[in-house]
Structure 1
Amino acid sequence: MVLFGKRKSDGWKVQVAATAAHEHPSSPNFPWDQLQAHTDLYLRKKGKLTPAERDFKLAALVDDYDDRDVAIAACAFAMSSQTLRVLLNVESNVTPVTYYGLYAYLQSLIAVNYRGQPGVVSDLEAKWARALVPYSSPGPQAAARFLEGVASVLRDKLLQNLQSMPNFSILTRRALVDFASNLEGFKLKNQWAAAQAAVVWLSKLLKNPSPPSHDLGPEQLLDSQFPSWRIWAAWKPDLDRIRLLEILPGHTKAIFVDTGGPCNLYHRNQPDPRTLWDAEHRSQDPDGRRIQDYLSSAFMLP
């Protein structure tokens, strides 16, 4: 019902936004009780509702609010387990490839564990969600960041397998596929600087392996789902060369597609790469042949 051009849900949204003040469920300052009071008031204004009607209206509030996790935190106490599970469906919350929605999804898990019906989100899932929040920013390297977080959590928290947490299992499998696809794309496009940035966490893992254990570790997970990770982790390119390769003309860069990318060898008697493509050499070497000769000495395929 609309009174004077304003719906009751509009008032709820204004109150929730003002109370939350950009805080999220993982924050120690999150105003749980105040947000619940706003939802209580909203439901009282709606009058007598059946459980199904209440779920429908609260789910509509969640879907219509920008910060989904905040809305879930405000409404979870009054929603059924079934409706909460629908709202927490990972496939509909987290966008493939870019992982938009991952941050809000992790925050929502924390919220439902704290204020939702018991058993919908376990304490272990909430701990994982809290640990992965710092690794949940979206974008081109989102899969790598998320997997770095998973590797960190697996080192610190005992877990026999991921099947006990199906939502995290889905996200991890998806991230492994996306990560492998991203690396293959970088390789095909000669985007070696981006590839190197994406595998830094693998190099750290290889250098500092997990202690032996019967539990699932990051190495076991990667060995089973992404066997070539150790090759990428051992790849140590010459950063000056791969940065130089980024500025080569397209027709010159193309000769490196089949060779697999810049190597980690650096010849002492060769000039500094940063001096090879300045204004003077551009005029003397318009086709990039001097750079081509410099880079073609040796390559290593990750």
Structure 2
Amino acid sequence: MRSWRSSRTEVHASEPKLPSWSKKSLFAKPRPSEEWHEQIDFTAGAHRPSEQKFQWSLVKRHTDHYIKKKGKITQAEIDVKLASLIEQHEARDVAIAACAHAMSPKAVRALLNVELNVAPTTFFGLEMYLQSLIAANHCSPTSVTELEAKWARQLLPYADHGANAAGRYLEGVCFMLRTTDTPNMNVLPDFAILVRRALKTYATRLEGMKLRCQWVAAYGVVAWMTTLAQNTPATTPPGSLMPEHLMDVQFPLWRIWANWRPNIERSVQL
């Protein structure tokens, strides 16, 4: 038979413990970084840097107040502290919009490494990356060019993630090359990296569909290339990179897919 003392001890052992934070005063002052995260999220709300209603001056004010609390610190120290805040913030584009004006252009650009911001294959993070470019250009024009910001804005409708992401991105890039005066992709190095990545993913997907005889699905995936081929201008504007040039060099098979006309009704019956 268990003693009263042992059973009493077991009861105490099974009682839930209060979390450590509950021991702190409910009126404890939040850390400056925690306060900053909450303030810019509340100020931005559901708006993104590409929207007219985005509160640029207010989110910047929160950052200025945060820096002021740190006392007299160097620009290098400011860059480190603000970069840390941005890295920890879920809405990275909003954080850049709040901080870029107070950072050196070099520090801002370092945060916009496309390899680290956009996932390969799925392109997860692309929309956030485009919004971040827009934010950086608005607050620190020397860190992101006007051309980059223009591309970022125009590519937002094509930003997707998942199986269709690569094709949608390529469709958007071809639209931009058709409608803007872009001499070459060297002036847009980060977008060029994404193009190479997207073409590899896109070509692999089409090859997989071909091997599995998924002709109906493949026809839907290449529809935008068919439209591109049909709208090719008779003459090429001098000094401009056309989408056909880009595709011919990096994905020569695109013309075969673009001119492919399957019998959809028969394919469905198979």
TM-score tier by shorter-chain length is 0.7 to 0.9
Give 1:5 shift: 7.1
Q: Could you tell me which runs of 5 or more consecutive residues in structure 1 were left unpaired when the two chains were aligned.
A: 245-272, 274-294, 296-302
Question: Shift in Å at residue 50 of structure 1?
Answer: 1.8
- Structure 1 residues 225 and 51, CA gap change in structure 2 (3 angstroms): same
Following superposition, the deviation at residue 210 of structure 1 comes to 3.5
Question: Could you tell me how far 1:53 is from its partner in structure 2?
Answer: 1.6
Match for residue 225 of structure 1 among 245, 250, 253: 250
Structure 2 residue identity aligned to 1:114:
H
Q: Which moved more, 1:119-128 or 1:46-55?
A: 46-55
Question: Is the partner of 1:6 in helix, strand or coil?
Answer: coil
Aligned residue identity for 1:99 = F
Superposed CA RMSD: 1.7
Supply the distance in 1 between the matched residues of 2:181 and 2:233 (Cα, whole angstroms): 12
> Residues 239, 36 of structure 1: CA spacing in aligned structure 2 closer, same or farther, 3 A cutoff?
same
Question: How far does residue 4 in structure 1 lie from its aligned partner after superposition?
Answer: 2.9
Q: 2:202 aligns with which of 165, 179, 194?
A: 179
Q: Mean Cα displacement is larger for which, 103-112 or 41-50?
A: 41-50
Q: 1:204 aligns with which of 227, 230, 238?
A: 227
Whether the 8 Å CA contact 1:210–1:217 is kept in 2: the answer is no
Report percent identity of matched pairs.
49
2:184 to 161, 175, 181: 161
Secondary structure (helix, strand or coil) at the match of 2:73 reads coil
Instruction: Report the equivalent of 2:16.
Output: none
C-alpha separation in 2, matches of 1:44 and 1:185: 56
Aligned pair 1:54/2:54, yes or no? no
Equivalent residues in 2 for 1:110-259 (5 A)?
110-116=134-140, 118-210=141-233, 212=235, 213-214=237-238, 215-242=240-267, 244=268
C-alpha separation in 1, matches of 2:73 and 2:28: 23
What is the DSSP-based 3-state SS (H/G/I as helix, E as strand, rest coil) of the residue aligned with 2:69?
helix
Give the corresponding residue for 1:36: 60
- Partners of 2:128 and 2:212 in 1: how far apart? 33
Equivalent pair of 1:155/1:210 in contact (CA under 8 Å) = no
Counterpart code for 2:259: A
> Letter of the aligned partner of 1:9 in structure 2?
S
Does the 8 Å CA contact 1:147/1:172 hold for their aligned counterparts? yes
CA distance in 2: counterparts of 1:33 and 1:185, whole angstroms? 49
- The TM-score, its normalising length taken from structure 2, stands at 0.85
SS in 2 for 1:126: helix
Find runs of 4+ consecutive structure 1 residues off by over 6 angstroms.
Answer: none
Is residue 77 of structure 1 aligned with residue 69 of structure 2?
no
Structure 1 residues 120-178: Cα deviation after superposition (integer angstroms, max 9, x where no partner): 11111111111111111111110100000001011110111111111111111111111
Paired residues, number? 243
Q: Which amino acid aligns with 2:194?
A: L
